[in-house]
Amino acid sequence: GENVEQHPSTLSVQEGDSAVIKCTYSDSASNYFPWYKQELGKGPQLIIDIRSNVGEKKDQRIAVTLNKTAKHFSLHITETQPEDSAVYFCAASKDNNDMRFGAGTRLTVKP
């Protein structure tokens, strides 16, 4: 089955700096790669996703890149703000029955 590894487990940046979180996956058949943000006391919320037929996707300050050959994908947050502080999860799947999540990255943005 699919195995997803996520790094780093914790990340601390100054407000305004960029943050990058990386994930690798094992199953070359995986074709859907969502990123979730989990704020304290809440459930994960989808912030961006990418499919295997696309190499990069951007939504304002958030972007995701996918390298199918190397089987890794990354989340990029630019101009970070304190409200970006949360736990971020990557996931990979062929369908929702097979979705595997990374262990999570705790991002802290210091004012």
Residues lying near another protein in the complex (CB under 8 A): 1, 4, 6, 9, 31-32, 34, 36, 41-46, 49, 51, 89, 93-97, 99, 101-104
* Minimum CB distance to another protein, residue 16 (Å): 29
* Minimum CB distance to another protein, residue 3 (Å): 11
* Minimum CB distance to another protein, residue 59 (Å): 14
β-pairing, 100-101 vs 105-110, is unpaired
Cβ closest to another protein, residue 78 vs residue 99:
99
The residue behind tokens 């502080």 is 85
Distances (CA, A) of 25 to 41, 84, 86, 87: 28, 25, 22, 19
Cβ closest to another protein, residue 14 vs residue 97:
97
β-pairing, 10-14 vs 105-110, is parallel
* Minimum CB distance to another protein, residue 42 (Å): 6
> Is the Cα torsion angle 25, 31, 37, 38 positive or negative in sign?
negative
